[in-house]
Chains A and B, each alone.
Chain A
Amino acid sequence: AQSVTQLGSHVSVSEGALVLLRCNYSSSVPPYLFWYVQYPNQGLQLLLKYTTGATLVKGINGFEAEFKKSETSFHLTKPSAHMSDAAEYFCAVSEGGSYIPTFGRGTSLIVHP
């Protein structure tokens, strides 16, 4: 069975600082991995996804994530935080043959001026 663990329910950074949101997964087969962002009172928006190929994935809004199979991780980074990045971030995993992602519990990103 697939599962996702997001370390830290809240992450606080200063504007301009590095953003690092951690995600570890468990999967019995090669996974597909996703990061979604959710702004207050809105639906989810896909930031980036990994399916196959290059392990460093670039997404929207300057975010990127690296798939590390040996560490079963898919951490999300952004070099310089912006106030508009404040939101809830969800990591998700799906396995081949399953059409459905399993979401982590989410990390709330707080950006201080």
Chain B
Amino acid sequence: DAGVTQSPTHLIKTRGQQVTLRCSPKSGHDTVSWYQQALGQEPQFIFQYYEEEERQRGNFPDRFSGHQFPNYSSELNVNALLLGDSALYLCASSLGRSNQETQYFGPGTRLLVL
């Protein structure tokens, strides 16, 4: 049973560019959350998708957008990249609507913006 997978593992972009990160949830999971973890910091919640809709959003600008597909996989898009967007981007999947459900995290995508 595959866990949460993310691609790519590493990415280098320059300021002003756009980036798309991808996440496949754990088998059977229908909810995907995205987090940004700057170096040496705690994860910060970006948004969560359930049934192909954004269910909740953290304190991130509109440059950060996402999508969930019918197979529950998800994409995170970041436009007009800034140096401060350099971070580890974590995807987590879970099952259903309850916040008692365990979130399973992927290994992350490390983004470096130059």
Contacts and interface: CB of A to CB of B under 8 A. Distances in A.
Interface of A: 32, 36, 41-46, 49, 51, 90, 94, 96-106
Nearest to B4: A43
B45 A100 contact: yes
Contacts, number: 56
B42 A90 contact: yes
B interface, how many residues as a size bin? 20 to 34
B48 A44 contact: no
A36 B105 CA distance: 10
Contacts of B55: 99
Given A45-B105, A99-B97, 10 more contacts: A32-B99, A36-B105, A43-B4, A43-B105, A46-B102, A46-B103, A49-B100, A99-B33, A100-B58, A103-B44
Interface of B: 4, 31, 33, 41-45, 48, 55-56, 58, 90, 92, 97, 99-100, 102-108, 110
Contact of B42 (A43, A49, A100, A104): A104
A51 B42 contact: no
Contact of B106 (A43, A100, A102): A43
B99 A44 contact: no
A100 B48 contact: yes
A103 B43 contact: yes
Contacts of A42: 107-108
19 contacts: A32-B99, A36-B105, A42-B108, A43-B92, A44-B43, A44-B92, A46-B104, A51-B100, A90-B43, A96-B99, A97-B99, A98-B56, A98-B99, A99-B48, A100-B33, A100-B99, A102-B45, A103-B42, A103-B44
Contacts of A36: 105
Nearest to B94: A99
